[in-house]
Amino acid sequence: MHGGGGGRWGGSVVGAPQRERGSFQHLGHLKRLMSYVRRYAVVLVVGTVGLAIARLALYLMPWAQKLAVDSLADPAAEPYLLIPALMILGVVASQFIIYVPARRVLRRISIAAAYDLRKRFFNVVQYQGPNFFNKFGTGDLMSRAVNDISMVRMVVSFGAVNIVMFVFSVIAALWFMLVMSPALTFWVVLPLPFVAVIGFMMARGMFPFFRERQEALATLTSFTQENLNGIRTIQAMAQENQEIDRFRRASTRYAQKFYRAERYQVIVGVSMTLLTMISPVVILLYGGFLVLDGELTIGSFNAFFGYLILITSQVQSIGWSLSMFTSAAAATQRIFEVLDYPPEVVDVAEAQLPPDINGRLEFRNFSYRHPGAARPTIDGINLHVDAGETVALLGRIGSGKSTILKAAVRLIDTPRGSVFLDGRDICEVPIRRLREAVTMVPQDPFLFSAPLKENLTYDKPDRGEEAILEAVDAAGLTETLGRLVNGLDTVVGERGTTLSGGEKQRSTLARGLIRRADVLLLDDCFSSVDTETEEQILGGLQRMRSGKTTLLISHRVSTARHANRIYVIDNGRVLESGTHEELLAQGGYYADLEAVQSSQDRDRARRGQLLRQLDGSRGELPPLAPTGSDVA
């Protein structure tokens, strides 16, 4: 599958992605993590010191060997074996007693830091607005919250500690080697700084590869997520093969990016290994020469190899640690891109809303342009809902009705001086307080994967059964409830019983009604119900909302006609306004709509009657409809 890609990687590893190449600032992103690690500083230091001690113990092993070998090589000396043997056993024991707990402590810190980071990430996302979610897709956010934070966890757990260990080990090894032979130490260690420098430079160059790899993974994740959400649409339209093909492309892209990053990592690893191969040759030739000259004992000659192995593993792992730093820097940058995103809707803490709200909602010359839209969605709208009134908005699709409702609960960044609740600018009300007073039932009904009861009492789970049943009744959901096997405890939503579109809509309506908010905003909650249920719901609304303010959107004259006032919205402006009768008398858009819809309703009613007749006279010939002419 990678026939085409193979050539490309060859070129691309050498010619790394141009942007962001080789600059120190990427590692600077890691500084942002300090505040998450600082609170564990003491434990971090203790753990690191523990690891250092365990490491130091390892350096006694070649020394013990040296003592034993030297005593054997000298025929005049007593064999000296017991103490070195005990030393080695002691070293092994220290690894169990010190190394294991220290590692464990460090791992726990990294888990705790990742936990804190993930919590903050989630909190930030909860309060973001539409711009944010336009910029960061769901899969993208998932990938940042999962993969990038894991990467950061790795660097906290291993990265920093490995660097400390590296410095520590080098000093310890140098000390032991210098004691044995300064001249040989000089030549053995000479190539090692080059290894470290080259490793560091290569690791720096790796940043763009890792960022690209993470981005490709984010694309893949969002694709998969979108696909699963839309699987029914895909199957209904028989687009499975095309989706498989699209997935293959996204997946291949990720694999290619992954190979590129891996390949770079391998090049770094191999180059370093090759460079470290020089040192054993030096020991063999120059060290052997020193032994022959009598300037170095056989034991020391042997110990040099031991120290070299210890130091080499550190030098190699420093390259790995550095490469981990570069990918963690990429991950950190991606995490903080989200954390730093300025909140669109800025809350105020200054004023509180007085405890009793009358519920007069007013839009004064309200205009709004969606970010990136060519023209304003709302263009100087004036409308008001007096306390206790029910007002309806009606208009063509895309005319701006939902935007008006969203403005009233600041789901969009409502401009100051345009929306007022009881005469007070809603921008001066803390958002939480505002949304307690003003409840909106959104246009797309959304149910959580939870029992119906929890869905209805989402904001306050301790509501009594009576209150729930009242709202269920008012929303015309009683019949549906009777059909659910476990009643209110039936799990609905994605992982439960699938409710029909209309049932979902009525469930969210009940969720809105149950709050008995001072102001209720209903965004097209009656679109999927039949005329009969509609009548029932309108009755329920009247019962539960009497004396309270309700602003509802509808496509149907039959719903809107009961309102105290109706506004017809067109192109973000108020086209007509007035009571049902006034608007009919005006003979404008509303009157036309009324004419069309009532003839459709008559038509539907007649068809229903016909079907019932048909049902009743099964076996007989259905009466040929003479009504055809007056339907048209």
Ligand X SMILES: Nc1ncnc2c1ncn2[C@@H]1O[C@H](COP(=O)(O)OP(=O)(O)OP(=O)(O)O)[C@@H](O)[C@H]1O
Rank residues 320 and 567 by Cβ distance to Mg ion and give the closer one. 567
What the block records as the tokens of 494 is 């994605």
* Residues 368 and 415 sit within 8 Å (Cβ to Cβ): yes
Shortest distance (Å) from residue 368 CB to ligand X: 9
Q: Which region, judged by CB under 6 A, interacts with ligand X, from 193-201, 333-341, 397-405, 584-592? A: 397-405
Partner from Mg ion, ligand X, none contacting 370, C-beta within 5 to 8 A by type: ligand X
Q: What is the dihedral of CA 283, 285, 287, 293, to 10 degrees?
A: 180
Q: Decide if residue 573 touches ligand X (CB under 6 A).
A: no
- Which residue number is nearest to Mg ion in terms of Cβ? 402
Tokens matching residue 114: 């990742």
For the bound state, the minimum distance from the C-beta of residue 140 to ligand X, rounded and expressed in Å, comes to 17
Residue 491: DSSP 8-state: B
Q: State whether residue 403 is helix, strand or coil.
A: helix
Rounded to a whole number of angstroms, the minimum distance from the CB of residue 260 to ligand X is 36
- Whole-number Å distance between alpha carbons of 597 and 558: 8
Contact of 566 with 578, CB cutoff 8 Å: yes
Residue 94, CB half-sphere, CA atoms under 13 Å: how many?
Answer: 18
Distance CA 162, CA 317 (A): 8
Query: Rounded CA gap, 468 and 474, in Å?
Result: 10
Of 303 and 441, CB closest to Mg ion: 441
429-468 residues near Mg ion, rule: CB under 5 A: 443
Shortest spacing between CB 342 and ligand X, in angstroms: 17
- Tokens (6 digits) for 349: 């803490």
Task: In whole angstroms, give the CA distance from residue 598 to residue 604.
Answer: 10
Rule CB under 6 A: say whether 256 interacts with ligand X: no
Number of residues that bind ligand X (CB under 6 A): 14
| Separation between Cα atoms, residue 412 and residue 156, nearest integer Å | 38
| Binding of residue 370 to ligand X (CB under 6 A) | yes
Contact in structure between 359 and 422 (CB atoms under 8 Å)? yes
- Interface residue with ligand X, options 14, 349, 397, 621 (CB under 6 A): 397
Which residue number, 130 or 269, has a Cβ lying nearer to ligand X? 130
The answer to whether residues 121 and 311 touch, using CB atoms and an 8 Å cutoff, is no
User: Which residues inside 418-477 make contact with ligand X, applying CB under 6 A?
Assistant: 443
CB nearer to ligand X: pick between 420 and 567: 567
Q: Tell the smallest beta-carbon distance from residue 520 to ligand X (Å).
A: 17
Of 205 and 512, which CB lies nearer to Mg ion in the complex structure? Answer: 512
Nearer to ligand X, 76 or 373 (CB): 373
CB of 402 vs Mg ion, minimal distance in Å: 3
Interface map 118-157 toward ligand X (x if CB under 6 A): ------------x---------------------------
Which long-range contacts link 349-353 to residues 24+ away (Cβ below 8 Å)? 349/430, 350/428, 351/424, 351/428, 351/429, 351/430, 352/429, 352/430, 352/433, 353/421, 353/422, 353/424, 353/429, 353/430, 353/433, 353/434, 353/437
Site for ligand X in 518-537 (CB under 6 A): 524
Q: How far is CA 30 from CA 24, 204, 249, 339, 574, in A?
A: 11, 13, 33, 14, 53
Site for Mg ion in 392-411 (CB under 5 A): 402
Neighbours of 118 (CB within 10 A): 17
Q: Say whether residue 400 binds ligand X (CB under 6 A).
A: yes
Can you tell me the distance from the alpha carbon of 455 to that of 462, in angstroms, rounded to the nearest whole number? 12
Nearer to ligand X, 149 or 407 (CB): 407
Out of 221, 256, 377, 455, point to the residue binding ligand X (CB under 6 A): 377
- The piece of 76-84, 139-147, 342-350, 401-409 that touches ligand X (CB under 6 A) is 401-409
Q: Cβ closer to ligand X: 279 or 554?
A: 554
Does 398 sit near ligand X (CB under 6 A)? Answer: yes
**Between residues 90 and 398, which has the closer beta carbon with respect to ligand X?**
398
Site residues (CB under 6 A) for ligand X?
A: 130, 370, 373, 377, 395, 397-403, 443, 524
Question: Site residues (CB under 5 A) for Mg ion?
Answer: 402, 443
